[in-house]
Amino acid sequence: MRTPIIAGNWKMYKNVQEAVELTKGLKEMLSSMKGVEVVLCPPFTDLSEVAKVLEGSAIGLGGQDCYWLNEGAYTGEIAPRMLKSAGCTYCIIGHSERRTYFHETNETVNKKVMAALAEGLKPIMCVGETLKEREENRTFAVVKNHVENGLKGVNGNDMDRVVIAYEPVWAIGTGRNATPGQAQEVHAYIRKLLGALYGESVAAKVRIQYGGSVKPENAAEIMKERDVDGALVGGASLKADSFFGIIKKSVKE
């Protein structure tokens, strides 16, 4: 059985003090939580302090992005090895906001996935269609393109460290989540794609998160879908109560 994974993507919210405070609250709330893996992805500047608070807890830490080289004259960029030394085990890669506002392409996403894996990090690779693409019935084609090109060259042996986040762009930060049926349909399709690339047994083990307006009120019904293995949560991860509410509802019976 796949352990669900709930990751909080704090985006460009929370300064160091706010991040530490939220982390302390979550650490306490989650101290006896079982059956679900939780990862916090704060801004880069918060990572080291959040890592200190997380010491001794089962909560994981992740970056929101990384560069594909481990050092060099690349002003403003953060290398996978820097994330690792700051205490990260995960890294979100290819979030739609990165693709939209920072011109990331499947090619850069792929380089970042490879670089993260090479450094021993676990990439959370985001894929998903825009509203226009969905309306033009291109959802499957877009997702196929993101999955196949994002994972180009990734070895089947490394797929146990890869998490895929299906995030329909029209559902991110809009309050309009995909229905459980819409999510399951695409998740099953992604698993089928992974099966074709890596074989059924590898595909069966890869965790596929849903992301896009997940809240405590809708988490349970989305999480109970067969191929939904957790969530990538933005807005609702910024408050301990709402994030905890989602986590509680994600434990599979």
The residue among 188, 194, 187, 198 whose CA lies nearest residue 231 is 187
Quick one: which of 42, 63, 94, 212 contacts ligand PGA (CB under 6 A)?
212
Quick one: which of 168, 211, 230, 245 contacts ligand PGA (CB under 6 A)?
211
Q: How many chain residues are in contact with ligand PGA, going by CB under 6 A?
A: 13
Catalytic residue among 119, 129, 167, 225: 167
Instruction: State the nearest-atom distance from the C-beta of 175 to ligand PGA, in Å.
Output: 8
Work out whether 234 is an interface residue with ligand PGA (CB under 6 A).
yes
Quick one: which of 33, 116, 219, 232 contacts ligand PGA (CB under 6 A)?
232
Say what the alpha-carbon torsion angle 18, 21, 27, 28 is, to the nearest 10 degrees.
-150
For tokens 């994972």, the residue is 151
Residue environment code for 210-227, b if the CB has 16+ CB neighbours within 10 A, otherwise e: bbbbbbbebbeebbebeb
Instruction: State the nearest-atom distance from the C-beta of 97 to ligand PGA, in Å.
Output: 7
Q: Annotated catalytic, 95?
A: yes
Q: Three-state secondary structure along 25-64?
A: HHHHHCCCCCCCEEEEECCHHHHHHHHHHHCCCCCEEEEC
Q: Annotated catalytic, 167?
A: yes
d(CA 145, CA 130): 13
Work out whether 222 is an interface residue with ligand PGA (CB under 6 A).
no
Stretch that binds ligand PGA, among 12-20, 29-37, 110-118, 230-238 (CB under 6 A): 230-238
Q: Which is nearer to ligand PGA, 120 or 173 (CB)?
A: 173
Catalytic residue among 95, 119, 133, 225: 95
Can you read off the two tokens belonging to residue 53?
């608070």
Binding mask 166-195 for ligand PGA (x = CB under 6 A): -x----xx----------------------
Cβ neighbours of residue 137 closer than 8 Å, sequence gap 6 or more = none
Q: Which is nearer to ligand PGA, 101 or 137 (CB)?
A: 101
For tokens 């300064």, the residue is 15
Stretch that binds ligand PGA, among 49-57, 69-77, 127-135, 210-218 (CB under 6 A): 210-218
Catalytic positions, written as ranges: 95, 167
